[in-house]
Every structure is written in structure tokens, then in C-alpha cells.
Amino acid sequence: MTISHTAYATVDAPTPDIDLESWLFGLSDDEYRACARGHHGAGTFIDEKGRGMVNTESVGGNLIIQHYRVVRAEKSFVEMYSAASRIYLFHLIPVIGAVRWTLTTTPTSATSSTFACSVEVILPPVLAVLARTIVLGLFIRRHCEEETVLFAADIMRKLRKLQASA
């Protein structure tokens, strides 16, 4: 079973000025937690397999721990994939799922861009009924909408700070 949602926000900057790869891998734990009520913590790492990110969040009363690896990372496109996310249904029942997280910017004018944040959660088929019962799709949508707006605001805040120091 796959549950996915994409949310959009406007960033008042041209797409070439926005560097999603640098932004994501420069995101501090405090900054990550400030971008959604359900965010508990995040950190990035580099090891022999490359770059990655671990984050922990609560979505609809379910704790999710994601161990992301970079699939593709560029200025206007970042795709992260966690093949074995640990999902604790109701913070109690452990299951394994996969999560794909994609961030993009596309130009809307010479001075603004659309920031998109997509989340795709892949659960084992046996969990399909349970996921529908606890309306997991609704909670993922709400979480994605909230974090997208706040991620875009963080991107813009950092861009303004960078431009002011130049």
C-alpha cells in the first residue's frame, strides 16, 4: 500500500538562487523541529555509502524513524529514500515501511518559485486496512502541508540572510 501527498508553497526568489541540496544538508536539528509540530529531531551524516539523513517525527499518533539515503541531490531537486523506516503505530506497534521524500523548485516568474514537498509512504499490504482505519493518509497530508510552508519559510529566511551578507 502506498500513501502519498505533494504540497506546494511559493518562495519569493528565482529558482537559480535556491539551493535545496545545501539547504537540506545544512538544516540543523532545531530548524528541522521548528518546521512541523510532529518533528522530533533530524541529523545528516556521511559514511562509506555516501550522504544520508535520519529524522524522527510523529504523524497522526504514529512515530516514524527514517534512515534516508540520497537518491539524487541537486540545487532544484532532492530525492531521499528510506528503505527500512521504522514506524511505531500508536507509538507502540513496530512495523517496517519505506519512505520517499522529494523536494523540488520550479520557476513561476523571474522573481518567484514554487517549492514542492512530496512524501510517499510504502507499507506492507497487510497494513492496508489498518492504515485506512487510522486515516493515515489524512495525517500524512496534514503533516506534509504544514512542513512544506515552514520549509519554504526557512529556505527564504536563509536566502535573505545570505543575500544580506553578500
What CATH number should be reported for the domain holding residue 49?
3.30.530.20
Cα separation of the two ends of the chain: 48
pLDDT tens by residue, 73-122? 999 999 999 999 998 888 888 889 999 999 999 999 999 999 999 999 98
Amino acid, res. 73: A
Range of the domain at 11: 2-165
pLDDT mean over 1-13:
94
Strand 77-89, strand 93-107: pairing: antiparallel
CB atoms within 10 A of CB 127: 19
pTM of the predicted model as reported, rounded to 2 decimal places: 0.93
Contact 37, 144 (CB under 8 A): no
Domain count, the chain: 1
**pLDDT on residue 124:** 82
pLDDT of 132 strictly over 80: no
